[in-house]
Amino acid sequence: MPALWIAHVTVTDPDAYGKYAELAGPAIAKHGGHFIARGGRFVQLEGKERPRNVVARFPSVDAAVECYNSIEYQRALDHARDASERELMVVEISDD
């Protein structure tokens, strides 16, 4: 089943986070992911608002988790850890 990688982000260091974004895109693509939303308009209805929201579609939950744990993505993530506050989850898409 396909899955969505959903990130809610507050960037605290734009330069370092830019390096993360530069490296993360190819890592995500390498694992079959493609972006369907990146930083576009949103309406926060509940919970904590983050100014940047990103959604990528992957072939499966396993593919998304493999991407997250990959050397390439972890290298990218090194730039985001001190440059942002984030929540990240992977959600399987139901076929309903």
User: What does the domain layout of the chain look like in residue ranges?
Assistant: 3-42+53-92
Work out the average pLDDT over 12-27. 95
Whole-number Cα distances in Å, 26 to 2, 48, 50, 95: 19, 29, 24, 28
Contact predicate 25/79, CB 8 Å:
no
Q: Cα(15)–Cα(13) distance, rounded to whole angstroms?
A: 6
CA angle 13, 76, 63 (to 5 degrees): 130
19 — pLDDT class (breaks 50, 70, 90): very high
- What is the per-residue pLDDT across 26-79, written as a single tens digit (0 to 9) for each? 999 999 999 999 989 999 999 999 999 999 999 999 999 999 999 999 999 999
The predicted structure's pLDDT at residue 96? 61
The predicted structure's pLDDT at residue 95? 78
Q: What is the pLDDT of residue 43?
A: 95
Q: What three-state secondary structure class fits 44? A: coil
| pTM for the structure as a whole | 0.90
DSSP state of 29: H
Does the domain at residues 3-42+53-92 carry the CATH identifier 3.30.70.100? yes
With 0-12 / 13-18 / 19 or more C-beta atoms within 10 angstroms meaning exposed / middle / buried, residue 67 is buried
